[in-house]
Amino acid sequence: MTRAATLIPGDGIGPEITAATLQVLDALGMRFDWDEQYGGMTAVDKAGTPLPNATLDSIRRTHLCLKGPLTTPVGGGYRSVNVTLRQEFDLYANVRPTKTIVPGGRFQHVDLVIVRENTEGMYVGLDHTFRIGGERRAMAQAMSIITRAGSERVCRYAFEYAKAHGRKKVTIVHKANILKATSGLFLDTGKRVAEAYAGTIACDDKIVDNTAMQLVIRPDQFDVIVTTNLFGDILSDLAAGLVGGLGLAPGANIGTAAAIFEAVHGSAPDIAGQGIANPSAQMLAAAMMLDHVGEGQAGNRLRGAVETAIVKDNVRTKDLGGSATTAEFARAVAHRA
C-alpha cells in the first residue's frame, strides 16, 4: 500500500536536495503518495503567507511530512515557520542523530542522539521589550516555560527511543544549579522517568556547560542526550560540527498526531540553483521517516547507501572535500541503495 505524505520541497537548495532524496527513495522501492505543498518564501510568493492553510491541512490529513529547508521572511511580523509548525502540531520531540561518516576527521567514533524538547522553554515566544524613562528598548525580558507534563513526555520519549534502538544510556542535560525552578523541574522529572527504566537503560545527568566541553573532549561517552529547547538547539549544532557540519545532520519532529522530517541546515540561497548542494541530511531525514512508518530495514539501507557512497566510493560534494554535484551524489547513493 502506498502511504500518503506531505512534501514541502522548501526554499533555496531545498528543491534540489529534495529531488535527489526522492530519486533515492524510488531506487529503494519506497513509494509515497506525495501531496506537494509550499512553505517559507516560496509560499509567500505563491500564496502571500509563509505557511498557507493548504499546507497545514495537508499535514493534518497525512500526519507525515518530508520538508526541505524553509526561509522565514525578514520583517512583516512573520514568526519562524519551523517554530509555528512545531507548535501547531505539538511536535514535542526534536530528534537529532549525530554519527561519524567521513573518515579522517578528529572525531571518528561519534554516535549519539540528542532529543530536544520542542515546544516549551525559551522558545514559547514570551519575549518583550520595555520603555523606561522615555527610552525605547531600555529593558528586555524573556520567560521560559517548563511544565512537568512537557518534561515527562519528552524524557519518556528519549528512554523509549533508547530502548527501541539498542542504546544503553540517557543523559539528562540541565542548568538546575542556577535555574533551580525551570531546569530543576526538568531534571527532577527526568530522574522520575528514569526510575521506570532502571536495569534496562542507564541514566546520568550533566550541567549544560560541562556537556558542551565534554562533547568536544570525549564525545564517545554520550549515547542519548535529552534536554530542554534552547540547550538542545545549541548542543545539536555543536554535535553536528564534530562530524563535518550540518550537511550531515538530519532531524525529526515527533508528535502524537504528526511527524515532520527535515534536513537541519538552512536554505543556503547563495548556492541555490548551482547543483552543488549536499543532499545527505535530507536523505538521512528520509531514512528517519522510513523508520517512523515501520520501514526500518529500508531506512538502514538508505543510511548504508549514503555512507558507502561517501566512504567507499569517495563521492562527496564540495562541503565534504569533494567535487561531486548534487545529481552525481544522488546517482551514487541510488546505485548503492
Which pLDDT does position 277 carry in this prediction? 97
User: Is 279 domain-assigned?
Assistant: yes
Backbone angles phi, psi at 204, to 5 degrees: -140, 180
- Give the integer Cα–Cα distance in Å for 302 and 323: 22
- Give the integer Cα–Cα distance in Å for 296 and 214: 31
Which pLDDT does position 281 carry in this prediction? 97
Q: Are 264 and 246 within 8 A, CB to CB?
A: yes
C-alpha cell at 168: 544503553
Which pLDDT does position 261 carry in this prediction? 98
C-alpha cell at 318: 564540495
105/159 same-domain check: yes
- Give the integer Cα–Cα distance in Å for 184 and 174: 8
User: Is 312 domain-assigned?
Assistant: yes
Which residues 6+ apart lie within 8 Å of 63 measured at CB? 257, 258, 259
107/43 same-domain check: no
Q: How many other β-carbons are positioned within 10 Å of the β-carbon of residue 45?
A: 10
189/113 same-domain check: yes
DSSP-assigned letters across all residues of 100-127:
--STTSS-S--EEEEEEE-SSBGGGS-E
C-alpha cell at 300: 538502514
| Domain edge (last residue) among 198, 217, 247 | 247
Please tell me the total count of domains within the chain.
2
117/201 same-domain check: yes
Provide the domain limits for residue 153: 93-247
Q: What is the pLDDT along the chain (337 residues), one digit of tens a residue?
A: 689 999 999 999 999 999 999 999 999 999 999 999 999 999 988 988 899 999 999 999 999 999 999 987 776 666 778 888 998 999 999 999 999 998 877 788 899 999 999 999 998 878 888 888 888 888 999 999 999 999 999 999 999 999 999 999 999 999 999 999 999 999 999 999 999 999 999 999 999 999 999 999 999 999 999 999 999 999 999 999 999 889 999 999 999 999 999 999 999 999 999 999 999 999 999 999 999 999 999 999 999 999 999 999 999 999 999 999 999 999 999 999 8
Which pLDDT does position 144 carry in this prediction? 94
Which pLDDT does position 136 carry in this prediction? 82
User: Is 330 domain-assigned?
Assistant: yes
User: Is 327 domain-assigned?
Assistant: yes
Which pLDDT does position 72 carry in this prediction? 79
- Which CATH number does the domain housing residue 240 bear? 3.40.718.10
Residue 319 gets which letter from DSSP?
G
230/104 same-domain check: yes
68/110 same-domain check: no
Instruction: Look at the pTM and tell me if it is higher than 0.85.
Output: yes
List residues with catalytic annotation: 123, 175, 209, 233
Which pLDDT does position 1 carry in this prediction? 65
108/235 same-domain check: yes
User: Is 203 domain-assigned?
Assistant: yes
| Domain edge (last residue) among 224, 247, 270 | 247
Give me the residue label for grid cell 542504546: 167
Which pLDDT does position 102 carry in this prediction? 86
- Give the integer Cα–Cα distance in Å for 165 and 118: 21
